[in-house]
Amino acid sequence: MLHIAINGFFWDKPTVGVGQYLHGLLNAITHVDAVRIELFVPVGTVPPDLPTGVTLHELRTPFDGKSANLAKLWFEQIAVPQAATRLGAQLLHVPYFAPPYLCSVPVVTTIPDLIPLTRPAYRGSALVRGYMALVKAASVRSHTLLAISHDVATRASHILHRPVHEIVVTHLAADPMYTPRADASAYVAQRGIMGPYIYYVGGYDERKNLITLVRAFAALPDHIRSHTWLVLAGTVPSHNRTLFPDIDGEIDRLGIRPQVKHVDVSRADNPYFYSGATLFVYPSLLEGFGLPPLEAMACGTPVVCSNQSSLPEVVGDAAILVDSTDVSAWRDALTQLLQDPTQRAALRAAGLHRAQRFDYAHTAQTTIEAYRSVIAQSGSRR
């Protein structure tokens, strides 16, 4: 039986990308092989139900209740590697870009993305840049790197100077909750959305490129736009305009406020909003993977998304791909799809089929194969 330690810092954050990945992986991994997992979380974590074969350990740091940043750093760099060694784990898996620089057992690191190292808006303060330099150096020292897309693997190869063929790609998958909902129209009508709508969920930071989306929506022919909502999940943060552009200011400047709705969408609500949408849009400039388009396809929603980074890898030929910053191309794609129910039906069928190609059973199997390879290699060195 494999004995694996896992950094579970994001275990109680199942709505963020790393949390979704961690939950999907652990829920599948014990079903494909005999694995004993030690999951390390910060003290005070309120964990969701644990899969069979997973033991939870709460780890304290000297900075608990004093400094969240220092507590996180100590947890990642000191507490987790020490606990993995103490419990005799065969390796430590860190499922996000923050492995320890020193560890007595082999380290496997999953790289969800490298955005703080590649886009200026995300580089942050001197302390953040110092932290990123540390985890970059630690990642270089990791025994094995996993990446959630081939695009990330290619970027990691250049930045971390590791041969791309040595980086193992383990794709993400949509949660099983994302399925078509027959009662979606009635459900979203309760939230004040009646009639056709274009849906977006996925954050408002700079790389999400919402400026292009709202400009394309404003450029739609009047007879289409006047009968169509643009529904944006969540609200735009008002701080740090470098990282969070003023989307609402642009909406007001374009005079489309009456057709735009901001809606607070819970995780449980999200499948209904996907399913009820006429189409889903995702103009992002850079993604590690891109779960929202995959979730939309799993709900049977036609997808229009950017042709950048990992997104073509995720959607394949089951979505309309558009140059990320070409407002005219976005306007034309939206106009065409909103007026063509036959094309929407074709994309719905293609998207449902495409989404089935991604599942965590395959991710878990690939991950276990990587574990076994690391354990075999580390054993041969002793």
Residue 381 has pLDDT above 70, yes or no: no
Residue type, 128: V
- pLDDT tens column, 7-20: 999 999 888 889 99
Distance CA 64, CA 87 (A): 23
The whole-number average pLDDT for the span 51-76 is 94
- The reported pTM is 0.94
Domain 2-173+359-380: give its CATH code: 3.40.50.2000
Q: Do domains 2-173+359-380 and 184-355 have the same CATH topology?
A: yes
Distance CA 33, CA 370 (A): 13
Residue 340 has pLDDT above 80, yes or no: yes
Residue pair 97/133 in contact (Cβ under 8 Å)? The answer is: no
Closest CA to 148 of 99, 116, 112: 112
Where are the strands (E) in the chain, listed by range? 2-7, 35-42, 54-59, 91-94, 107-111, 144-147, 168-169, 197-200, 229-233, 260-263, 279-282, 303-306, 320-322
Residue 139 has pLDDT above 60, yes or no: yes
Return the half-sphere exposure (C-beta side, CA atoms, 13 A cut-off) of residue 221.
10
Residue pair 307/326 in contact (Cβ under 8 Å)? The answer is: no
Distance CA 318, CA 304 (A): 9
Give the torsion sign (CA, 263, 264, 269, 271). positive
Residues forming a β-bridge with 22: none
Domain extent listing, the chain = 2-173+359-380, 184-355
The whole-number average pLDDT for the span 37-47 is 89
Q: Express as a percent the part of the chain with pLDDT over 70.
A: 99
CATH of 184-355, one of 3.40.50.2000, 3.40.190.10, 3.40.50.1970, 3.40.1640.10: 3.40.50.2000
